[in-house]
Amino acid sequence: MDTDGLPNRSALEQAQEAIGSPLGDRGGYWKKAIQAYKANDKGTAYWYLGRVAHLLMDMSVPAHVHFDIHGLPWDDDAYEVFTAENLKNITQYSPGTYIRVVKELPNFPSYQPSTYDTDLTKLFFNLALTAKGYDSDDVNGTKSQRGKGKFRTARIPKGAEFGETPAVLRLERWETTLGWPTSRKEVLRQFADYDLIWEDCNDCERRIYFYDSFYSRINNTTDIVRVIYVGETHTPDDFGVGDLEEANGDVYEDILRHIYQPELQAMAIGYVAALYQLFWERTHPTQPAPQITSVGQVTGSNDRQWITLNGSGFTSSFSVTFRDVTNGTTYPAITDPGRLQYVSASQVKAFANVSANPATWAVKVTNPDNQSSNEYEFAVVAPAPAISSLNPNNAAAGGPGFSLTVYGGNFNLSSVVRWNGSDRPTTRVETSPGSELVSWLEASISSSDIAAAGTASVTT
């Protein structure tokens, strides 16, 4: 029977999926927590969230993920009992309690209903997958580093130290006759038959632990384990099965204290912190990134002008960045509120100066949460030029050619003077070198252009 009162329901199913029962609608605590929070019923929301946190914490207990039945009066789980009695050994400041980044965790590799929150599933799956690598009292963990039965079977007894000196060279299994070694049966393999573990504590000894695969071969026999050291001066040590320290159905307490609790309980704290962070994201959705879909027509000008940007996701506080694509120049973002105008979530305006010359420009909008829009390219259209005066404004028929100065506005670096509709060599006089602001034009008029009397049309 699971914690929500229904049989055969996993912790993940209880967290993710509500189901009807004679006791009412059970499970689905994650969605219920989110719905209650959005309804401003925070007390109920955090009660349901606490249920989810409990279920997630359960995934850090090897007995839970191994389906190792426990909690009976005659069969408690050693890790749960130890943690309950020594809970305060680990705090949020302990190593390993860092908040997990959900997006970086591996995805759940199997089917899950489309109604499930995939990020919540990732938290349950990855914490359970880690805990599954550890031994529980009655089931071997799946990983040789912390499982395969080496913490729940047998080890060399305390007092037989294997530090750097003397260093262990190898382990052998020997057959005995009347208590005397007679023949070697096998050479043991480290990480398959045994391991040398030195718990992370000041008074811990380096000890040899046997994997269940080897212990099951030697148990109930008269064989011995011979420990051979580096160097000829060190006499091998022999250990019979009766000499070994057996776990007797529980993971060793010093292993729980110095390995399980600092690793699994600390990790569970980090995962629950990630759970609460995920809950915040689900109940406080971020503003979607702005998008620009069009820009109002922009006519080239030497002065600033209001440029209209259409799209979605705009906020009342924003900045705008322009880039001259044609010339490869990016200008500083416009942040001055006097040069920005919020119309609606679908339209904003910026007071900016683009060149008077025809060119391709690009623009993007950035919201206060640093989410930027797409960079949208638009064309700057040249304004129609206007002539105000000519110098000289007349010439003698049949005279020599001359330079005609054309004054007016909206001239640019592409402007050309036309004499009776035909282009003439034109010099564009900039206000200052490199400014792209053209003050007037100078055209070369040839003697043939004024060979006969009459009126000429001057255009640009």
Is 223 in the same domain as 264? no
Is 113 in the same domain as 184? no
Is 236 in the same domain as 266? no
Given a cut of 80, is residue 184 above it in pLDDT? Answer: yes
Is 169 in the same domain as 209? yes
Tell me whether residue 431 is in a domain. yes
pLDDT in tens, 374-428: 999 999 987 778 888 989 999 888 889 999 999 987 787 778 999 898 999 998 8
Which of 61, 91, 134 has the alpha carbon at shortest distance from 273? 91
pLDDT in tens, 298-317: 988 878 999 999 999 999 89
Given a cut of 90, is residue 456 above it in pLDDT? Answer: no
Backbone angles phi, psi at 344, to 5 degrees: -165, 180
Percent of the chain with pLDDT over 70: 92
Range name among 3-12, 221-230, 291-300 with the lowest pLDDT average: 3-12
Looking at residue 5, its pLDDT comes to: 52
Is 133 in the same domain as 258? yes
pLDDT band at 453 (very low <50, low <70, confident <90, very high): confident
Tell me whether residue 86 is in a domain. yes
Tell me whether residue 1 is in a domain. no
Q: How far is CA 59 from CA 76, 129, 427, 429, in A?
A: 17, 8, 80, 77
Q: How far is CA 451 from CA 221, 395, 421, 443, in A?
A: 127, 10, 17, 17
CA dist., res. 275 & res. 158, Å (int): 41
Given a cut of 60, is residue 36 above it in pLDDT? Answer: yes
Tokens matching residue 117: 């929150």
Is 314 in the same domain as 295? yes
Is 234 in the same domain as 295? no
CA dist., res. 329 & res. 332, Å (int): 10
Tokens matching residue 364: 């993007």
Domain boundary among 381, 401, 431: 381
Tell me whether residue 2 is in a domain. no
Q: Taking residues 330-349, report their average pLDDT.
A: 94
- Cβ neighbors of 415 (< 8 A, separation 6 or more) are 385, 426, 428, 438, 441, 460
Give the domain extent around 213.
154-246
Question: Taking a C-beta distance cutoff of 8 angstroms, is the pair 16, 117 a contact?
Answer: yes
Is 374 in the same domain as 395? no
Q: Where do we find the tokens 């010439």?
A: 395
- Is 420 in a helix, a strand, or coil? coil
Question: Taking a C-beta distance cutoff of 8 angstroms, is the pair 428, 415 a contact?
Answer: yes
CA dihedral 286, 287, 290, 296 (to 10 degrees): 180
Is 348 in the same domain as 397? no
Is 23 in the same domain as 168? no
Tell me whether residue 149 is in a domain. no
Is 272 in the same domain as 133? yes
Residue 434 buriedness (CB in 10 A; 0-12 / 13-18 / 19+): exposed
Domain boundary among 334, 358, 381: 381
Higher pLDDT, 324 or 111: 324
Question: Taking a C-beta distance cutoff of 8 angstroms, is the pair 331, 415 a contact?
Answer: no
Higher pLDDT, 79 or 19: 79
Tell me whether residue 148 is in a domain. no
How many helices and strands, by DSSP H and E, does the chain display?
9, 26
- Cβ neighbors of 295 (< 8 A, separation 6 or more) are 307, 308, 309, 310, 363, 376, 378
Q: At 445, which amino acid appears? A: I
CA dist., res. 430 & res. 425, Å (int): 16
Is 335 in the same domain as 312? yes
Domain boundary among 246, 271, 306: 246
Tell me whether residue 76 is in a domain. yes
Q: For the chain, how many structural domains are there in total? A: 4
